[in-house]
Amino acid sequence: MRVLPVGDRALLVEVAGAQEAQALHAELLRRRAEGSLSAREVVPAARTVLLDGVDDPVGVAARLSAEPLPAVPPPVREPVRIPVRYDGPDLADVAAHWGVPPEEVARIHSAAEFRVAFCGFAPGFGYLTGLPDRYAVPRHATPRTAVPAGSVGLAGPYTGVYPRSSPGGWRLIGTTDAVLWDHARVPAALLSPGTPVRFVPSLPEGS
């Protein structure tokens, strides 16, 4: 684990990979909840957790470097279930990348246990890990100018659901009616870092 200072009031804690980052994130949230860590923002990402708005970054960095973090498993929670029609325009293309028939994509994808590794790109957009490494797919070289809200896509090791229509380069395998983001709802985001997720196949429209 490396603790990198970021300006005067933030620290970037770097770990080996996604699982370590999730464990670190859970532990840092626990410390903040119990009052032993003061930070306005705790932002997990691919293999880092950013602490921003830290009053005493030097002290916090020293403490983090001195005591190795316990390998706390993230708290067990019921997964959020997201119904998906596996009818995306890139379904056949993803099947080709995976070397399976197109109808296998839904089975493989919905069998995986996902967790929100981090959020970014847009409010409520989660980067979900859980697919085995061999199913990683590259982004489109040229992003689509408009991806509809509710599109379920793959990029690299991640699965994501577009909270609203936006440009995007992810490979689209399906569609959901789940509302990923509604700022009038509490909480506004259906998915937040650490949330376990399962995708549940539903029948395509008109079948």
Partner 1 sequence: MTDRALVVVRAGALTTVQDLGRPGHAHLGVPRSGALDGPSAALVNRLVGNRPEAAVLETTLDGCDLRPRSAVTVAVAGAPCPVSVDGRAVPWGAPVRVPAGARLSVGRAVLGVRAYVGVSGGVAVDPVLGSRSTDLLSGLGPPPLADGVVLPVGRPDGSPARVDVAAQPGPPAELVLRVTPGPRDDWFTAAAVRTLVSRPYRVSSASNRIGLRTEGPVLERARVGELPSEGMVLGAVQVPPDGRPVVFLADHPTTGGYPVIAVVRAEDLPAAAQAAPGIPLRFAAVGRRR
Contacts with partner 1 by CB under 8 A lie at 4-10, 12, 40-50, 52-53, 58, 118-125, 127, 164, 183, 188-189, 192-193
Q: How far is the CB of 137 from partner 1 (least distance, A)?
A: 16
Q: How far is the CB of 51 from partner 1 (least distance, A)?
A: 9
Q: Which is nearer to partner 1, 59 or 89 (CB)?
A: 59
The total of other beta-carbon atoms located within 10 Å of residue 49's CB is 27
Round to whole Å and give the CA distance between 95 and 121: 26
Bridge partners, residue 166, by sequence: 147
* DSSP 8-state class, residue 12: E
Q: Which is nearer to partner 1, 64 or 106 (CB)?
A: 64
Round to whole Å and give the CA distance between 56 and 44: 20
Give the C-alpha distances (Å, rounded to integers) separating 7 from 15, 37, 65, 87, 178. 20, 18, 18, 46, 39
Q: How far is the CB of 101 from partner 1 (least distance, A)?
A: 32
Q: How far is the CB of 56 from partner 1 (least distance, A)?
A: 9
Q: Which is nearer to partner 1, 53 or 204 (CB)?
A: 53
Q: Which is nearer to partner 1, 15 or 106 (CB)?
A: 15
Q: Which is nearer to partner 1, 105 or 160 (CB)?
A: 160
Q: How far is the CB of 152 from partner 1 (least distance, A)?
A: 17
Q: How far is the CB of 129 from partner 1 (least distance, A)?
A: 12
What is the token pair recorded at 103? Answer: 């109808």
Contacts of 95 (CB under 8 A, 6+ apart): 101, 102, 104, 105
Round to whole Å and give the CA distance between 2 and 24: 12
The total of other beta-carbon atoms located within 10 Å of residue 154's CB is 27
Round to whole Å and give the CA distance between 48 and 17: 8
